[in-house]
Amino acid sequence: MTVLIPCYNYGAYLPTAVASAFTNPEVDVEVVIADNCSTDDSVDVARRIAAADSRVRVTEQPYNKPYLENYNDAIGRVTSEYTVLIDADDLLTPGSITRSVALMEAHSDVSLVYGHCIRFTGEPPKPRTRARSWVLFDGPEWAARMYRRGRNIILTPEVAMRTSVLAEVGGYDTEHPTGADMLLWLQVALSGHGVGRVNNADQAFYRVHSRNMHFVKSSEGLLTDLTARRRVYDLALDRAAAQRPVEGADNLRDAAHRKVAEEAARGARAAFDSADEESQEVAVRLADFASDTDPGVVVSREIPSATAEDTGAAATLARLARTRSQALRHGVGVRLNRYLEW
């Protein structure tokens, strides 16, 4: 097993991240710290760790690359059968690698394993480390669940994969950095590889702070996330369909679009409630995005878009209110009422 730890200016977190990988005595583990030309003391910290432990290697980029390129460079150096990738500010729980490897050793058709990941700030809480069971999914079945759910259920550090499959799908898509992790999971599953979930045990810790890449702190961030999520759902299906037919592809796409649009509608409502003018402006775009993604969720076809003279947040709010009124008369009021109850 190789644990990849990409790092950029996270030197303070490296010692605990590396130590967390070596809490699996039944598995032969190596750690690769992949520094992306950090400007703090990360390289010095990484070198000291490697000098003290032969199981640790350090790679250094000559210049700061887009972060996914650093990820893929590190993946390309892996020679072990299994790979885990955690950011330097995250942690693995004791025995998590052992549990993931045991599942894949028992089921050769499973290529991606995950489990519960604990979000934390400050000191990590005590994890559950006893797995009582696991669940196996046919890859396309698991992907279908992801489409119907409409959001990513995996944070990343809790994932273990077969290295050969990671290489087969080409690693992370550097052209789509936002949502690249979810795109990777969907591509693996839609290509027919089985997925396993470890139950009742916590597999990793995900640190929540303002610098990590999953952190969304604004309506603008929500719009960015939802736009990327819709693109990822479409792209994964399109790529899979280019290789072989995907059963129920149109229904899956519609289901994902509906969930994404509903979340955008909720975000628009919350942003409109804000007294902040910038949030209200983003709310207009969230509402338009929701309508574009699934017109049935937000805007009735009988309600025209705002005119050039009538494009402010207040006008859009009024338009959405009128939409709700007409939707009630056209039999879709239940769905609208759920998300646009102002």
Which of 132-169 are b and which e, b meaning 16 or more Cβ less than 10 Å from the residue's Cβ? eebebbebbebbbebbeebebebbbbbbbbbbebbeeb
Element (H, E) at 85: strand 82-85
Residue 288: name the closest of 274, 305, 273 by CA.
305
Element (H, E) at 117: strand 110-120
| Per-residue pLDDT at 275 | 65
Domain locations along the chain = 2-207, 219-299
**Which residues in the chain come in under a pLDDT of 70?**
210-217, 275, 298-342
Measured CA to CA in angstroms, residue 44 lies from 8, 9, 38 at distances of 12, 11, 10
| Per-residue pLDDT at 339 | 32
| Per-residue pLDDT at 284 | 87
Fold topology of 2-207: Spore Coat Polysaccharide Biosynthesis Protein SpsA; Chain A (3.90.550)
The distance between the two most distant Cα atoms of the chain, rounded to a whole number of Å, is 72
Q: What is the DSSP letter of 275?
A: S
Which of 69-97 are b and which e, b meaning 16 or more Cβ less than 10 Å from the residue's Cβ? bbbbbbbeebeeebbbbbbbbbbbbbbbb
| Per-residue pLDDT at 305 | 40
* Cα 82–Cα 83–Cα 85 angle in degrees, nearest 5: 165
Lookup result for tokens 């550090």: 157
What are 57's strand-pairing partners? Answer: 32
Dist CA 211 CA 117 (whole Å): 19
| Per-residue pLDDT at 338 | 31
